[in-house]
Structures are given as C-alpha cells and as structure tokens.
Structure 1
Amino acid sequence: MNDKKQNNDNFDSINDKIPTISTNQPRILFINILKRKKFIWITIGVIIILILLSIIISLPIIMTKKKNTSHSTTITSTTAAITTEELSFTSMPNNNYRKWNLNFSIVAGGNGYGNDLNQVNGPQGIYIDDDKQTIYIADYHSHRIVGWKFGEESGEIVAGGNERGNNLNQLNNPSDVTVDKINDLLIICDKGNERVVQWSRQNQIKPKTIIPLIECYGITIDNNGDIYVSEGKKHSVIQFKQGEAKGTTVAGGKGSGYNSNQLNNPSYIFIDKQYSIYVSDYQSGRITKWIKNAKEGIIVTKQPISDNGQSQSSDSFGMTVDHFGSKESYTVMKGGSYEQPPYLFSASTVISLDREENLYVVDPYNHRIVKFDVDVN
C-alpha cells in the first residue's frame, strides 16, 4: 500500500517536471508569421515605389535628350528654311550650339542687280577682313571685286570693273576672292578666264596672273601664304606653295565620283590652323574634311542623294568653319525660287563669320549680302 502511494507521488513529481504547453502558442506563432509577411509586402511596396519614382524622374531627361538629338539633326540639315525665331547650327562633334538672331541686316547690295556702286549682280565668294572693316565680294556678273566697308551704303571697285575680258585689268565671272595680308594682295579666282590673278590693295603693283590654265571655283590661303584652289576639270583641290608654279593635289584628283577619295565639282574651300582642308563638294552635295596628307576625305555633312547618285539639290552651297577649326563646325543653307519674301534666301551659297562670330550669307539671286548678329544670350 505504501509502495503504491510512493509510486503515485513519483508520478506526480514527474508530471510536475514536464513543461505545460500553453494553448496561446499557436496563436502567437500565427501572428508572428503575419507580421513577417506584412514586413515583406511593405518592403516590396517600397522597392516598387522607388522604381516608379526613378522612372518618373528619368523620363523627362530621356525626352529632353531625344528632343535635343532631333533638333540637332534638323538644324544641320542642308534644307534649312529660315522661318523660325532664330538661326542656329550644331558645332560637331561636341554638340555646342551657335545661334543668331533671325532679324538680319543687308550689308551690301539689296538694290536690285546692276553695276552701280550700291549694287551687286549675282555675288559669289566673299572675304571678311575685320582689320580693314571691309567685305570683299566676288561680283560675278559684273566682272569685278567690290570692297564694301562695314556700315556703308555703297562699295568701291578694287579689281576689274572694266567690262568682261581677259586682259590683266579685266575679270570674267570671278567666283571667289581671298586676301594675302602679308603682301597686301587680293587673290582672285577669275573663273571665266581659267586663271588666278593677284591685285594690289594699294595699287602699288600691276595685276598679275599667278596661276594660269586652271578652272578654279574656290580659293583660300593658309598662314604660310600657300594658295589652295578648287579645280573643276580635275575634281580636286590643289596647293600652290609660294614661289612654285606647279601645284600639288591635296584633295580628290581621282576623277569625279562619290567615293571618299573623290570629289565631284568642288566649289568653296577652307583651311584651318592644322592645315585640314574643308571642301564644299557641289555635285556630291556634301562637305568633306581632308586632314593634312590624307588620301581620303571624311564626310562631315551631306545633302540627300537620289537613286542615280545625284544630289537632290542643284543649287550650289557653302559652309562656314570657325576661324581656327577647333570646334569643327559646319552649316549648309539652300534656298528656293527667284521670287521670295525678304526673310528667305534663293540658292544661298557662301556663308562666312567675322571675328565677333556674326554670320554673313551671300544671297546671289537677290543680289545682296546679309548679316545675322550672333545671339549672345
């Protein structure tokens, strides 16, 4: 009997040592699981919100970049119609912009075509001489070079003007002009006479043929006094060093064509301080850059080309490069018909900049040169 009681006491003691399982534990465990799930969903929600915010913030930036890219493509097009509030073009490849005010001033001509001193007749190439405050104009159909002081209402004849002819005191459809400042000479592409001539700006020496038998169109001179001429028959640009009668082909010369080593009726040319040559290639509808001693040119801008390989624009076009070529900036303009409002241009050809970066546009069919002031804002 006592043994039985002792066994019961031992059993009760064992029961006391067994931990009691609370009926609240499953409920607490369930609540903890819910809290974890809630935390996970809150975390996921925060991540989704952050992603949406990043998309919302970046979307305007992406749209702005697209807009800028589209604008850049438009303003470097060769079919620029001046119908907006400002004229601009892209400086490649660093995408800097130059802008000019739309309101232009007529700085030479604009009084109809003719031979009077307040007129020009189908002007072609120009040279801006900031030191002399003068624009030199190749007055194509008047067979003369006109010097037009800034702000004046008329110019003066500085070469030719003695009717059309091939004597040394005459010119025949001059297409371009540049200045040899070292020797104070005008260097003229006398296109109709197929020669390059020099005229003294001070009338100290008589006119002289310096390059004969060349179908020149555009002409420029580098810092060494070497002359560069675009040549139509050979579809090339030729360099003539001082004192040398024979030139060296520095661009093209591989026949007419559209390959990178060819030109097709090159017109206006420019050379920068690194002696890279920029060529306005008339028939190909493009501007090419020829680095010094290069065998091929780099296309820097071009007009649309039709299926037969011809430029879709038959009007000549020109270009402007900043004074030192450091920004590699180019622009092309073309026009439309002979009858145009005063804010449009007809077959605009040469475009040039003065020292203050004001833009000059030759408007041959409206017989004038116009100036756009640079927008400094």
Structure 2
Amino acid sequence: MNCNKIEPQSYNTDDTTQASTTSSRILCRYFRKRNLTWFIFWIIIIILILLVVIIPTVIILKKKIIISKAISTTITTTITTIKKDTVATTTTTTGHISTKWIQDGIRVAGGNGQGDQLNQLHWPGMIYFDDDNQILYVVDEGNHRIVEWKSNVTTGQVVAGGNGSRTDQLSKPTSMIVDINNDSFIICDSGNQRVVQWFRRNERNQQIIISNIHCYGLAMDNNGDLYVSDVEKHVVSRWKQGDKNGIIVAGGNNQSNKLNELDHPTSIFVDQDYSVYVCDMWNHRVVKWLKNAKVGIVVAGGDSGGGFATSVRKLNNPIAMIVDRFDNVYVADSGNNRIMRWLKLTGSIEGRIIVGGNGVGNGPNQLNWPSGLLFDRKGNLYVSDRDANRVQKFDVDLN
C-alpha cells in the first residue's frame, strides 16, 4: 500500500472495494500523523539537549570574561595626604593583578649598618613617597626622627625629631602622614604617647593633636578625620578636628582573637566607603571593619587550621599593609620576611608572595622583618626592612 498515492475514486466498484479504499486512506492518515508526532517529539528532545549543553557553557564563558576583565584592570592605590579641610589623594599605579616585581631589591635608604649617621637607619618603620618631588620619607624609629631621602643620594636629611619629650622632639615615632596644605607632618610620637603636627618651616611651632594615647598607625579619610590605632587599648579610633575624645571604629571589646576584638593593632587604612582595614598583628591577620560595623571581616591571614605559620594561608606578626581600590590587600608579613598579596577575587583563603620569602637575611632578594611598604606611581614597590636597617626598592618586572 502506497500512502503517498491517492486512489482515484471509482463509481464502478462494489461496496466492498469502496470500504477497503476508505480503510486504506484512514490508515495512511493515521501513520502520517504518528510519524509527524514522533518527528516533533525528537526535535523537542534535541533542542532541550542543546539548551542543557549550551546555556551552562555560555554562563561559564561570561564568568571567565568578567574575571579576565577584572584581572586585566589596572590596580591603583591611594596614598592619603592631608589638606586644610579635606584629604587629597595621589593615585599610584601598581600595574595589573598579574604584575610581578624583580626579586632583587635596590637599596634606596640606609643599608650601612645600624647607626645614627645620615647614611644610616635604626629600625626604619612606616614610609611615605612624594612622587612629585621624588622624595622618600622614612620613620627612623630607633633614632627618634623622620628622615628625607632624595633620589640617587647616599645620605638622608633629618626633617623632624630629636630624642626627647619637648614638642619639638620625638621619641620612637612609628608612623606619619604628610599635610601638604600646611607643609607639615602628622606623626605618631609613640614614646611620648601622643600624636603631633610637625611644621617643617617652623620647628618651634609644633602642636600636640592627641595626648595620652599609645598610638602606632595613622590614616585619614576624605572628610579630614584622623584614625589612630592604640596598641595598649587594642582599638582604632576616629578623631574629628577639635575632638577631645575619639570614637571607637574597630575593636574595643577586650584583647582577643574574636571578630569584634583586636590584639595589638598596628597599620590602618581607610577606603572611600569609610571602611577601616586593620593590621591585627598579634592575631596574625588583617581585618576589615565596615562603616558602623560591630565586628570585623578577616581579609588576610587568620587561618586557624593546621600547618606552619609560613603557609600562604597564614600571616606571622604582620605590621604594615596597604589596600588598592579593588580591595586587594598587600601585607608586610614581618615574621615570615616577605610581602604578600591577598586578592579580593579569591577571598581570604590564601595569599601570594610577591617579594621576599627567601629566608631572613640582608641579601637583595631577602627581607629582615619588613615593617612598611608602598607603591609609587609607576608601580615600583618600596619596603622598609627594619632589622636590615634599610629601605629596598623592587622595580616592576616588565619582561
């Protein structure tokens, strides 16, 4: 029986022949409909299979593109400088997330043994770089002074300090901020338990901003509010101009490793959203406190699992850190003699060594208790190498 051929109607056949022809037509129509149904069914199945395979693939590709764009985006960090009523920020390019640095550092300050001569340093701490004038400022804690080092020179120049408790003297300073508008420094005068403003053109007109505080780190937000870490009370406080008492913005709930507490906070950083990053030194972590938060978020270190403190998931007595505008954290992992980078993309699971980590020592690729770090506009890394009594510069690796 050929279902594709329609039998011509005959008026000369008998009733049996007509019935047979009618049955054939019905069967042909039935099989045609059935074949069409199966054809449609299999088309739908194929489409569903393609959708199941293609949609997840497209989603994965989109995620890869987003991550790729994020990785290829230029990192910028901001070095905060105080102006009269507001804070100016100097944009510093540190390159891509995949940026590497030449592992052999170049000495740019000190490195001539521990001492108080102008070509020497004694426990250098926090550092600041003036890109416009190519001047490096070093907090020379053991010599109770701030030293200015210009590019390509072998000796520095004292711009603030002198051991003592007078307002024109310093005792074990730990950090500083540059006040461009007033041509002065804001200095944490730790040994005298105070924060002072040191005018560079008038050394006899220094001012005490905050008294009776065991300060260590300093930072400033866009409103000109000053943030100070107190290693005795284990808190970070915010001070507005003219305040007699600061407002606690991190810690303040005793000394422990709980997320609402700190243990010997050192370096601090304030971002554009007024979140406060704290180097929680004795808890071996960096903690981020959102504005008005009651607890912090661990963004680097703090891994309480097994393994040695040298693991890339751990920090060992971190003293200093900086944060770029993508919330990636760079840490002076002092006890491990290395500089670590913790990417926001990977959370706080593990960091990556960018310089150091080659054992304690004074070699060009070694560090000895790093205690300060910064980037210049070209992305070159400067590290204050405390126990080596020097500051090292690690150039961006362009190869």
Flag whether TM exceeds 0.5 (same fold).
Answer: yes
C-alpha contact (below 8 Å) 1:108/1:119 kept by paired residues: no
Percent identical residues: 38
Aligned pair partner of 1:363 in 385, 391, 397: 385
Shift of 1:264: 1.4
C-alpha contact (below 8 Å) 1:176/1:188 kept by paired residues: yes
Shift of 1:181: 2.0
Give the Cα–Cα distance (whole angstroms) in 2 for the partners of residues 281 and 304 of structure 1: 9
Q: Secondary structure at the match of 2:387?
A: helix
C-alpha contact (below 8 Å) 1:264/1:284 kept by paired residues: yes
| Structure 1 position 287 matched with structure 2 position 286 | yes
Shift of 1:137: 1.0
Q: Report how many residues are paired.
A: 331
Shift of 1:129: 2.3
> Which residue of structure 1 lines up, in the alignment, with residue 318 of structure 2?
316
Shift of 1:302: 2.8
C-alpha contact (below 8 Å) 1:123/1:138 kept by paired residues: yes
Give the Cα–Cα distance (whole angstroms) in 2 for the partners of residues 315 and 347 of structure 1: 10
Change beyond 3 A, Cα 1:178–1:144: same
Shift of 1:313: 5.2
- RMSD between aligned residues: 4.4
Q: Secondary structure at the match of 2:379?
A: coil
C-alpha contact (below 8 Å) 1:99/1:374 kept by paired residues: no
C-alpha contact (below 8 Å) 2:218/2:268 kept by paired residues: yes
What TM-score, normalized to structure 2? 0.65
> Which residue of structure 2 lines up, in the alignment, with residue 343 of structure 1?
365
Larger displacement relative to structure 2 (187-196 or 327-336): 327-336
Change beyond 3 A, Cα 1:297–1:98: farther
Q: How does 1:129-140 map to 2 (within 5 A)?
A: 129-140=130-141
Q: Secondary structure at the match of 2:142?
A: helix
Give 1:112's aligned amino acid: N
C-alpha contact (below 8 Å) 2:150/2:156 kept by paired residues: yes
Gaps of 5+ in 1: 1-17, 20-42, 72-95
Give 1:152's aligned amino acid: V
Give the Cα–Cα distance (whole angstroms) in 2 for the partners of residues 286 and 313 of structure 1: 6
Shift of 1:316: 3.0
C-alpha contact (below 8 Å) 1:136/1:177 kept by paired residues: no
Give the Cα–Cα distance (whole angstroms) in 2 for the partners of residues 243 and 376 of structure 1: 47
C-alpha contact (below 8 Å) 1:107/1:150 kept by paired residues: no
> Which residue of structure 2 lines up, in the alignment, with residue 153 of structure 1?
154
Give the Cα–Cα distance (whole angstroms) in 2 for the partners of residues 185 and 297 of structure 1: 35
Change beyond 3 A, Cα 1:329–1:150: farther
- Structure with greater Cα Rg: 1
C-alpha contact (below 8 Å) 1:228/1:237 kept by paired residues: yes
Q: How does 1:193-272 map to 2 (within 5 A)?
A: 193-203=192-202, 205-272=204-271
